[in-house]
Structure 1
């Protein structure tokens, strides 16, 4: 398929099929009590948010839950590092998606000096055991790293500067991170080396072309989780009751304008 752009009509048709399968996955999760945890990591502008948005667009927020934790509080900073993430793990019948995760310690915290080198080393030593405990408890854990080129990251950041709909996505951390491409590359490489395991492997997704990247990630997700498609529902709408003596009253409710 390469990196050529994908037409909107073809993209939306393929996305509709995959989103239908995500609904089927959802029904399987509810029926079996499965617990699924999906981690999305990657450089700034790699497309994590857009991919997650498409995954949860047509499913129930009571089953699919997105976790994007803010900067830790002083109290959270004093806790064991993993402690703030554990309460968000899935219960039976839930899919939890982390938009950045505990791997902040191996990435942004390491590169920008928000933790010490010793803290990063400790994290990289203990994270395989932590994830082994997750998997052994029955959680299905998927970890995705979204990859883009230097040139594409530059283009996406510049579009945020000029598009008022996207300026909220810019922060001083984004700009500093942009200037430290190879520090992030070294941090990513060390993270892969320490935490790419047979029981919780990393999957690297080329997201240079967002539409193709989203389709590939969702397709892979569906192929990797051993769900069983649920049977089509045999539903027939019941008849509505008759009007009888009901008459709509003249109420002084405020109706919004209809200029379109």
Structure 2
């Protein structure tokens, strides 16, 4: 028999979709570790910056939500900047991102980042090719400065197939809960798959460095990619469990000594 092609071998080895029960069980275990990481970050004053990039519909928002759902928003802070104002357009390009970088005891997660210039801005003509090339040339130096200042920088690219992207964008159109996720820019970008592929490849070639490497995650299965990325970041941020004393609730005082006045409360109606 002849050798299987790489694509057919990959298809044969593709794991089945993860069920909700198994997903929730694994996510619970990983979330316990995220809480330990959170306590360690605060305890040691670590500065962590996590970047999520990828095409529209690749699953960035859902992955970020899975990471942050059970941790403190005072420690894990998500940054998703809108389009720049006219004032911001006149500033140094990375200026509006710098103010959001982590201080001691913080984990900052960028839902899209300064790499907008290498992606959507380049492809949609919001900057010139020269500006995009200059950005790629200086970004490794900027990220070197970040890491040498003590910031732990993790950069994730979520990769999705054209078919799965189309399915997810159609889902946004038809699901009233998700329509807010679909922007006019998503629709315009949809026809430019190859242009985004070229922009991605140029970005990797210039900014995949030893001090700030890119990590690529296939996001066909949303549940699996969330678990895989959480596991990966836990492996790449050194942490230990912070010792703490066992907590016991104290005895509650006697209830009923105080009598509330007969106040006309406006109760929420029990519709459900």
Residue 35 to residue 133, structure 1, CA distance change in 2 (3 Å): same
SS, match of residue 132 in structure 2:
helix
- TM-score, normalised relative to structure 1: 0.98
Verify: 1:218 aligned to 2:233, yes or no. no
Q: Which runs of 4+ in 1 moved over 6 A?
A: none
Q: Write out aligned runs for 1:141-220 (5 A).
A: 141-220=153-232
2:244 & 2:231 partners in 1: Cα distance?
A: 21
SS, match of residue 188 in structure 1:
helix
**Where does residue 246 of structure 1 map in the other structure?**
258
**How much does 1:234 deviate?**
0.7
**Where does residue 25 of structure 1 map in the other structure?**
37
Of 105, 111, 116, the match for 1:104? 116
1:129 & 1:245 partners in 2: Cα distance?
A: 66
**How much does 1:244 deviate?**
5.9
Structure 1 residues without counterparts, runs of 5 or longer: none
1:196 & 1:230 partners in 2: Cα distance?
A: 33
**Where does residue 140 of structure 1 map in the other structure?**
152
2:69 & 2:250 partners in 1: Cα distance?
A: 28
**How much does 1:169 deviate?**
1.3
**How much does 1:2 deviate?**
3.2
Residue 42 to residue 233, structure 1, CA distance change in 2 (3 Å): farther
1:188 & 1:248 partners in 2: Cα distance?
A: 63
Q: Write out aligned runs for 1:28-177 (5 A).
A: 28-177=40-189
**How much does 1:146 deviate?**
0.3
**How much does 1:3 deviate?**
4.2
Structure 2 residues without counterparts, runs of 5 or longer: 1-12
SS, match of residue 88 in structure 1:
coil
Residue 156 to residue 63, structure 1, CA distance change in 2 (3 Å): same
**How much does 1:230 deviate?**
2.4
2:186 & 2:153 partners in 1: Cα distance?
A: 28
Verify: 1:236 aligned to 2:248, yes or no. yes
2:167 & 2:257 partners in 1: Cα distance?
A: 63
**How much does 1:165 deviate?**
1.1
1:50 & 1:77 partners in 2: Cα distance?
A: 29
